[in-house]
Structure 1
Amino acid sequence: MTAMGSTSTTTSVDTVDPTTGLVLQSYPAMNAAEVEDAVAAGAAAASVWGSTPVAARLAAVARLAEVLRERSEDLAALVTREMGKPIAEARGEVVKSAVTAEHYAAHGSRILADRPVPIDAPEGVEAWVSHEPMGLVLAVMPWNFPVWQVMRAAIPTVAAGNGLLLKHSPNVTGSALAIAELFTAAGLPEHLVTALVVAEPDVPATVEDLIADERVAAVTFTGSNRAGEMVGAAAGRASKPSVLELGGSDAFVVLADADVEAAAAAAVRARFTNSGQSCVCAKRFVVAAAVADEFVRLFVDGVRALRAGDPTDASTEVGPLARADLRDALQRQVDESVALGATVAIGGRSGRGSGSGDDTDTGWFYEPTVLIGTGPGMPVFDEETFGPVAAVAVACDDDHAVALADHTAYGLGLSVWSRSTERAVALARRITTGAAFVNAVVASDPRVPFGGTKRSGYGRELADAGLLAFTNQRTYWVVSGH
């Protein structure tokens, strides 16, 4: 492989508490020899694991679910410390990971079973498709769901017989190391899942070298478009499979015949979960003119009632942003949009907001915010907003709602609200996304595929597709001996 390793003078990776801005812990960054050792050990472990019977692999995945549940409090607390997720939501993502492990433990044998192919031929041909592990998979993961986004990729990847090299975001390094240890605690082979601690200046070159390494069979990436372009290009040069999930700017469409009260209540959840730091958070609210005033009133009332503050408090609904630069980027998007004609209905500034009951200004908080009068040409409508800011646009009719909802480079999720499911589904079919939810908030679920279109990426995670994503779907064609 290409020589890897630190080319900078950075020798450690720090995690920082976003509630206070203070350093939590410093971790030594791996040098070139340590990264090489991790790749070699991971490839060896994956080779052995790939020949392990499916039943034994799935039994280990079931044990992983048990370990996740046993350690959920400690793991959730670590997530909250490192990226500021409200503790109730941090617990939720650990439990969701356990549910996903249980899903694959229960259904993996069916999904991975050889699939017979009927062949009508006189010579007695027997044919089937076998789903065989590929080897060692590189997972480059983001910080916003430190456990769930790793597990939704790692669990099916390991269940399919592969190993995993985890290159997590530096600001959740403690979570990355804890996740890797969960797999060995569940009885999976040592080194099968390894967390790489890489100094941030060295991440691009290290990831590119890993993708080029012949011992790495494939790569899965969740994160920004800029980094995703690099990962996708490197995978293409190496002729290796890749799955990219690159974020989104989901539309939440409220038609004139919708249950406006239900839609507004759901809109609050859809936008402000994880403090708005989610690829599948609804970001653009496209509302029919006939119900726009009512929707905005109810929506703003719901946002005003949100409790922002200390993420370790179980009653907190909105915590800080994970980093100071994210807060600054959000403020720029809001300010530029207001300058272009948007109106702030609530929020619009750094801080904890009116629902916090806390006047302190420490940490990287941003007020839960609703902008009205938005539309194409404004940053909050055209760009992905990664934080607690909602953009409301008014549609004249269904055709205009389609035009507004589809006016985006992204294509991850879509939520449509109407008392007529037929009308809602018909409208959804006219908008390009990887998922469409009717009278429901967009979410990921282990039973259905998850992924995007357009600039939101390609490939699918979860469900059958996620388990088969990194398998060699190998054809067997056998003619009986004569």
Structure 2
Amino acid sequence: MSIESTNPATGEVVDTFDETSSGDREAHLDRAVETFEEWSETPIERRQRLLSAAADVLRENSAEYAELMTKEMGKPIGQARDEVEKCAWVCDYYAEHAAEHLDDEVIASEPEARTLLSYEPLGPILAIMPWNFPFWQVFRFAAPNLAAGNVGLLKHASNVPGCARAIEDVFREAGFPEGAFTTLLISSSEIDEVIEDDRIAGVTITGSDGAGRSVAETAGSQLKKNVLELGGSDPFVVLEDAPMEKTVETAVQARLINNGQSCIAAKRFVVVDEVYDEFLERFVEEMDAQTVGDPMDEETDIGPQAREDLAEELHEQVEKTLEAGGECRLGGEPMDRDGAFYPPTVLTDVPEDAPADQEELFGPVATVFRVPDEEAAIEKANDTRFGLGASVWTEDLERGERVARQFESGLAFVNELVKSDPRLPFGGVKDSGYGRELARDGIREFVNRKTIWVQGDAGEETEMVE
């Protein structure tokens, strides 16, 4: 069977790829195991050098990779170039810090003993990745895990097969051994079988909470380590002393980045009554000023949704919210043009239990809530089954940090939009998943934290304890 990638801005077929056959899948899994034996014993200094080479390949081919992303899933071309650069950055980060993060950790114990933690790779890791950041989501998994001595197998989203192949080529061109990173162009129906395969040591997924539950159930039944990076409905809390100009400018960016299709995008804007009217007026004006159009055009702020069905699903959530009593202050209707375009949309007066209150809206739709005060803002911010990111806006930094500590989220920002950074752990709580990517925490997720005890006086009897 073949897989087509389709340009969501035009409906034209970008390219066609052959699915990975069952025979080829078996060969790839065998190769991954063989390569792991070699790769895990490769000095970490060489692994770091190869990651640095991967960063060079990314930068040398930035224009090509950016255009591919834009054609396959509609990301504005400038944001696509930024994504390639961020992938190079995460490779640079682990090329510099991997050895430090994986160095033995000596722990004090008995006077005559040396005790330590050793961080050792697990084996082939399956990565199930989404289409919205088709390069970045993969590289934030691949860079730390390849540095740690694991090998990776990628099951990418079906609408970005070209990106999947291109990423595999990056590592091949950088000099990684065959089998260190392999793309499997397989259907979702085959995922459980791969997870259950004895040759797979662990699995990570970035996707919906439904997909995460399914993967966790299968991995758990096999007692395999798993990391879940799932959806979010991030609150953006505006207090009465917020620096309004910066707050509104960032609010628009935080909602519309990547055409609004980001797990850590601000989706619920929780504004205290004292500044609600001012914020709403300025926010609607700025949202309306954004340019929707051809994502290959440098002047475009918002491109299409990644697929027609995703735009339809988003509009259905908007319609149901309005039917429940919500108000539409901007947008709210699919655009009358070819392609999966949806306009910047602002909803207010959204009742509890409406889709815009309870569900993740994965597109350029913002929901603005009015609350009486800070206490109510925190309560509303936490009134969600998700717990990925959150931000608060205030002139008082001590107040901001105090509020940030009360968010039920894995990430909390004061006077900044929620974002990922190779230097900082990334992940959520509640229905947003568990585990962490990036920084030291990320490189230690798929390793064996082995306790080693070296007794100095072998002739002395010791009490046997468990």
**Same fold by TM-score, threshold 0.5 exceeded?**
yes
**What's the CA shift for 1:116?**
0.9
After superposition, the C-alpha distances for 1:20-74 in whole angstroms (9 at most, x for unaligned) are 1222222111221111111111111122100001111111111111111111110
Q: How does 1:347-362 map to 2 (within 5 A)?
A: 347-351=331-335, 361-362=337-338
Say whether 1:118 aligns with 2:94. no
Of 325, 328, 347 in structure 1, the residue corresponding to residue 312 of structure 2 is: 328
CA contact (8 A) 1:250 1:282 kept: yes
- The separation in 1 between residues aligned to 2:379 and 2:428, in whole angstroms, is 19
The number of equivalent residue pairs is 458
Among residues 84, 96, 109, which one is paired with 1:94 in the alignment? 84
Could you say which residue in structure 2 is the equivalent of 1:428?
404
The structure 2 residue matched to 1:459, chosen from 435, 450, 453, is 435
SS at match of 2:219: helix
Partner SS for 1:429: helix
Cα distance in 2, alignment partners of residues 314 and 190 from structure 1: 37
Q: Note if 1:172 corresponds to 2:146.
A: no
Deviation at 1:314, TM superposition (A): 1.3
Cα deviations by residue, 1:428-468 (Å, 9 ceiling, x for unpaired): 22220001000000000001000000000000000001111
Taking the aligned partners of 2:213 and 2:345, their CA distance within structure 1 comes to: 31
- Structure 1, residues 147-170: CA drift from partner, whole Å, max 9, x if none? 000000111010000100000001
Greater mean alpha carbon deviation, residues 338-347 or residues 53-62: 338-347
Query: Which residue of 34, 40, 47 corresponds with 2:37?
Result: 47
Residues 369 and 388 of structure 1 are in contact (CA less than 8 Å); yes or no, is this contact kept in structure 2? yes
Between the aligned partners of 1:49 and 1:384, the Cα distance in structure 2 is 40
The answer on 1:216 being equivalent to 2:200 is yes
- What is the CA deviation profile of residues 249-277 of structure 1, one whole-angstrom value per residue up to 9, with x for unaligned ones? 00000011111221111100000000000
Find the residue that maps to 2:45 and give its secondary structure. helix
Structure 2 residue 212 is matched with structure 1 residue 236? no
Q: How does 1:193-204 map to 2 (within 5 A)?
A: 193-198=181-186, 200=187, 203-204=188-189
8 Å CA contact retained: 1:113, 1:130:
yes
Following superposition, the deviation at residue 129 of structure 1 comes to 0.8
Compare 12-21 and 143-152 and name the one that shifted more.
12-21
Secondary structure, counterpart of 1:130 in structure 2: strand
Over the matched positions of the two proteins, sequence identity in percent amounts to 44
Using the alignment, how far apart are the partners of 1:341 and 1:294 within structure 2? 23
For 1:339 and 1:50, how far apart are their aligned partners in 2? 57
Aligned to 1:475: 451
SS of the residue 2:160 aligns to:
helix
Task: Extract unaligned runs of 5+ from structure 1.
Answer: 1-10, 352-359
**Residue 343 of structure 2 is aligned to residue 367 of structure 1:** yes
| 2:12 aligned residue | 22
Q: Deviations over 1:407-426 (max 9, x none)?
A: 10000000100111222222
**Alignment counterpart, residue 398 of structure 1, candidates 369, 374, 377:** 374
Q: How many angstroms apart in 2 are the aligned matches of 1:338 and 1:420?
A: 36
Amino acid at match of 1:127: T
* One-letter code aligned to 2:141: A
SS of 1:171's equivalent in the other structure is: coil
Q: What is the CA-CA distance between 1:375 and the residue it aligns to? A: 4.4
Alignment of 1:9-408 (within 5 A): 11-121=1-111, 124-198=112-186, 200=187, 203-204=188-189, 206-351=190-335, 361-408=337-384
d(CA) in 2 for partners of 1:47, 1:226? 34
- Give 2:394's aligned residue: 418
Tell me the secondary structure at the aligned position of residue 209 of structure 1. helix
What's the TM-score once normalised by structure 1's chain length? 0.94
- Give the Cα separation in 2 of the matches to 1:290 and 1:220: 44
Helix, strand or coil: the match of 2:83? Answer: helix
Residue type of the alignment partner of 1:332: E
| Aligned equivalents of 2:390, 2:407: Cα separation in 1 | 8
Unaligned runs of 5+ in 2: 460-466
Q: What amino acid is the match of 1:230?
A: S
AA at the equivalent of 2:228: L
- 416-425 vs 161-170, which moves further: 416-425
2:75 partner SS: coil
Structure 1: how far apart are the matches of 2:106 and 2:44? 18
Separation in 1 of the partners of 2:293 and 2:74? Answer: 10
Partner amino acid, structure 2, of 1:185: E
Counterpart of 1:65 in structure 2: which amino acid? A
Match of 1:355 in 2: none
Confirm or deny: 8 A CA contact 1:371 1:390 kept in the other structure.
yes
User: What SS class does the counterpart of residue 287 from structure 2 fall into?
Assistant: helix
TM-score when normalising by structure 2: 0.97
1:7 paired residue number: none
Residues in 2 aligned to 1:375 and 1:264: alpha-carbon distance in whole angstroms: 24
CA root-mean-square deviation: 1.0
Supply the AA of the counterpart residue of 1:76: A
| Matched position secondary structure for 1:392 | strand
Shift in Å, 1:280: 0.3
